[in-house]
């Protein structure tokens, strides 16, 4: 097969680092306890200091907030909770002055049930909007089939006035859109082009692999028409501008990712795949069914994605997002070795090939929380709690799962300072601030060259300085080692070498490479012992001397 890697090697997003903002938890400018667009504008200096190239903004469009904005009732307006369209335009403009592009979150698999389309759709079977959604008759007075929604319960909801069910893969307030309808697709393209004309830098596409569902065959993701839809979508919209596009694709394999991110630019720039991040659960069960991380499997997954997409597609690199627990609590150590392990995880990820994503607060080493159930706000967590208790799980067991995996771990307010409410708001925060904000906060880290923030900042800059971060091919070292994640990235004479101890004991290793002949770019311990041992969570990144 022709190596197409050159086709888009000059794309800006290949050298970029993208920062995700979950707006309601980032910065509150008006004291209502909820983050907003003006709040983000006040933090652009901070983001420029970190060095990121783009912000992926979780949804800010008008929404009843059943799923915190992933239920959109007007795609062309901003929710008053976050500000106005003028604020959004200002954010795009101001961010540009800081060399930062704004990436919007497109939720195209479903809308809110309060969207005009759905309001019309449920009035009668004759309106053109009816077919914008997925409707089925019941079967002998029962649900069309036994499909379940991701947030619990049946995926079918009965509308008595129509005597029909509509399909929803998420909450009942998130009816699935019917992509088979060309008129709906055209409305979506018009809306996207409108945002492009406003100057956005790209889009993240929510659960994009679920748009081509075929519920009669119980197909949710990777439906037969998925790539046909994506190519049309890209042709009609994204290809008209110099954008980055990243699709959320839980069902992606490396083969599928090569299609999605084909360098001919026919679909998307890249996808978020979740193979690495789903490893610590009992196989075949849900994320709540906890299992220890199988480290050797983690190494194998990264090796496979790094080698198979090289020159044939493009990876996204992430540990965190607004749906995932904090990585330092999850696979690092949020006690004694919080700083070391947070940096180790950063160094490991940022040396890989792909576009790295930093989720707000990750650059500070923010941690998970352990609240009582009354302090959680996430619809998924609250439904899970009810459902599992009804099924007979003990409260302790359910809370253990929630503490480990609840999405609210990622959603606690950003910790800006040790002032009240971590400097996030002057009001009452919509979700309780993590009590450790008195120790972990941005103000305390910005000037400290040994902070987690400084480590991220250096990594972001290194990627821009050395082309091998973008182009180098990946080779796993110490493949059989059960504690160490080590690899090289090589491009001609240039070689990057990354060594990471993933655990809290000192381990020894032996490598053919002469480390003393290389230059140490970054590490997480002050004094470096070049011999063959790594201290708890020690990480080092070297580059070959020119």
Strands 494-501 and 484-491: antiparallel
Site track for ligand NOJ across 420-459, x = CB under 6 A: ----------------------------------------
Q: What x/- string results for residues 248 through 267 when contact with ligand NOJ is judged by CB under 6 A?
A: x-------------------
Judged by beta carbon, residue 170 or residue 179, the one nearer ligand NOJ is 170
DSSP string, 346-357: HHHHHTSSSEEE
CB within 8 A of 344, min separation 6: which ones?
332, 500, 501, 502, 524, 537, 538, 539
Closer to ligand NOJ at the Cβ: 107 or 268? 107
> Binding residues for ligand NOJ, how many (CB under 6 A)?
9
Quick check: 542 and 497 in contact, CB under 8 A?
Answer: yes
* Contact with ligand NOJ (CB under 6 A) among 66, 323, 340, 471: 323
Minimum Å gap between C-beta 500 and ligand NOJ is: 28
Active-site residue, selected from the candidate residues 206, 280, 323, 378: 206
Give the nearer residue to ligand NOJ in terms of CB position, either 22 or 503: 22
CA 338, 343, 344, 348 dihedral sign is: positive
Nearer to ligand NOJ by Cβ, of 41 and 207: the residue is 207
Q: Is 390 a catalytic residue?
A: no
Active site residue 187: no
Tell me whether residue 51 or residue 59 sits nearer to ligand NOJ (CB atom).
59
66 binds ligand NOJ (CB under 6 A): no
Could you tell me the smallest distance in angstroms from the CB atom of residue 321 to ligand NOJ?
7
CB of 101 to ligand NOJ, least distance (A): 20
Coarse DSSP helix, strand, coil percentages of the chain, rounded to the nearest 5 percent: 35, 20, 45
Nearer to ligand NOJ, 130 or 322 (CB): 322
Tell me which of 107, 205, 270, 440 binds ligand NOJ, using CB under 6 A: 107
- Per DSSP (E only), the strands in 430-492 are 473-477, 484-491
The residue from 129, 165, 166, 170 that contacts ligand NOJ (CB under 6 A) is 170
Nearest in space to 317 (alpha carbons), one of 347, 297, 343, 290: 347
Q: For ligand NOJ, what does the binding mask look like between residues 263 and 302, x meaning CB under 6 A?
A: ----------------------------------------
Q: How many helices (H) and strands (E) does the chain have?
A: 15, 20
Least Cβ distance, residue 296 to ligand NOJ (angstroms) = 29
User: What are the DSSP E strand ranges found in 87-131?
Assistant: 101-106
C-alpha 381/C-alpha 526 separation (Å) is 41
Rounded Cα distance, 224 and 216, in Å: 13
To the nearest 10 degrees (0 to 180), the angle between helices 452-465 and 338-350 is: 10
Please give the Cα distance from 88 to 211 (Å, whole number).
27
Residue 70: both structure tokens together: 């992933």
Residue 206, C-beta contacts closer than 8 angstroms, at least 6 positions apart: 59, 70, 105, 106, 107, 108, 109, 248
Contact assessment for residue 311 and residue 4, using Cβ atoms and an 8 Å cutoff:
yes
- Which of 53, 79, 248, 378 is flagged as catalytic? 248
CB of 237 to ligand NOJ, least distance (A): 20
70 binds ligand NOJ per the rule CB under 6 A: yes
Residue (115 or 338) nearer to ligand NOJ, CB = 115
Residue 350 near residue 343 (C-beta atoms within 8 A) = no
**Sole binder of ligand NOJ in the list 207, 298, 414, 486 (CB under 6 A):** 207
The gap from C-alpha 27 to its chain's centroid, in whole angstroms, comes to 19
Of 509, 497, 498, 511, nearest to 535 by C-alpha is 509
Shortest distance, position 323 Cβ to ligand NOJ, whole Å: 5
Nearer to ligand NOJ, 168 or 338 (CB): 168
Q: Give the Cα separation of 270 and 247 in Å (integer).
A: 7
Does the protein bind ligand NOJ through residue 203 (CB under 6 A)? no
* Of 26 and 70, CB closest to ligand NOJ: 70
Name 104's Cβ contacts closer than 8 Å, sequence gap at least 6. Answer: 57, 59, 60, 195, 200, 202, 203, 204
Residue whose structure tokens are 């949020």: 334
CB of 67 to ligand NOJ, least distance (A): 5
Task: Among 206, 334, 471, 538, indicate the residue that binds ligand NOJ (CB under 6 A).
Answer: 206
**Residues found near ligand NOJ in the complex (CB under 6 A):** 67, 70, 107, 170, 206-207, 248, 322-323
| Catalytic sites, residue numbers | 206, 248
């Amino acid at each position: 097969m022709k190596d197409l890697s050159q086709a888009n090697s000059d794309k800006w997003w290949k050298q970029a680092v993208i920062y995700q903002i979950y707006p309601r938890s980032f910065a509150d400018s008006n004291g209502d306890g909820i983050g907003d667009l003006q709040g983000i504008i006040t933090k652009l200096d901070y983001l420029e200091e970190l060095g990121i190239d783009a912000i992926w903004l979780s949804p800010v469009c008008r929404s009843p907030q059943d799923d915190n904005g992933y239920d959109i009732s007007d795609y062309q307006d901003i929710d008053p909770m976050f500000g106005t369209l003028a604020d959004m335009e200002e954010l795009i403009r101001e961010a540009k002055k800081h060399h930062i592009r704004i990436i919007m979150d497109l939720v195209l698999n479903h809308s809110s049930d309060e969207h005009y389309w759905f309001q019309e759709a449920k009035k009668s079977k004759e309106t053109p909007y009816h077919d914008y959604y997925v409707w089925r008759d019941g079967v002998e007075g029962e649900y069309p089939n036994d499909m379940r929604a991701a947030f619990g319960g049946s995926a079918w909801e009965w509308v008595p006035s129509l005597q029909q069910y509509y399909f929803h893969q998420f909450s009942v307030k998130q009816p699935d859109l019917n992509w088979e309808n060309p008129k709906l697709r055209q409305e979506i393209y018009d809306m996207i082009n409108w945002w492009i004309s406003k100057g956005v830098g790209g889009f993240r596409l929510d659960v994009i692999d679920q748009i081509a569902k075929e519920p009669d065959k119980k197909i949710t993701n990777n439906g037969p028409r998925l790539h046909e839809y994506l190519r049309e979508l890209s042709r009609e919209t994204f290809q008209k501008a110099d954008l980055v596009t990243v699709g959320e694709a839980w069902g992606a394999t490396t083969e599928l990712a090569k299609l999605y991110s084909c360098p001919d630019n026919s679909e998307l720039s890249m996808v978020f795949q979740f193979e690495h991040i789903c490893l610590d659960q009992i196989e075949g069960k849900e994320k709540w069914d906890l299992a220890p991380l199988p480290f050797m499997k983690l190494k194998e997954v990264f090796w496979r994605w790094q080698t198979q997409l090289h020159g044939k597609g493009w990876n996204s690199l992430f540990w965190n997002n607004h749906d995932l627990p904090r990585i330092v609590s999850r696979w690092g150590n949020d006690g004694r070795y919080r700083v070391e392990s947070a940096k180790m995880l950063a160094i490991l990820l940022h040396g890989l090939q792909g576009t790295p994503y930093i989720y707000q607060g990750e650059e500070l080493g923010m941690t998970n929380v352990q609240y009582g159930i009354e302090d959680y706000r996430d619809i998924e967590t609250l439904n899970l709690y009810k459902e599992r208790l009804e099924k007979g799980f003990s409260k302790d067991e359910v809370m253990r799962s929630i503490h480990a995996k609840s999405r609210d771990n990622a959603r606690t307010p950003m910790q800006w300072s040790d002032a009240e409410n971590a400097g996030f708001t002057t009001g009452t925060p919509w979700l309780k601030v993590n009590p450790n904000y008195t120790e972990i906060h941005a103000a305390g880290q910005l000037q400290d060259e040994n902070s987690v923030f400084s480590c991220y900042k250096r990594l972001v800059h290194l990627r821009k300085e050395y082309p091998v971060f973008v182009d180098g091919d990946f080779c796993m070292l110490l493949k059989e080692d059960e504690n160490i994640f080590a690899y090289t990235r090589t491009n001609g004479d240039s070689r990057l070498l990354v060594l990471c101890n993933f655990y809290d004991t000192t381990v020894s290793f032996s490598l053919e490479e002469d480390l003393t002949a290389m230059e140490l770019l970054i590490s997480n311990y002050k004094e470096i012992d070049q011999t063959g041992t790594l201290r708890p969570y020690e990480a080092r990144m070297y580059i070959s001397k020119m």
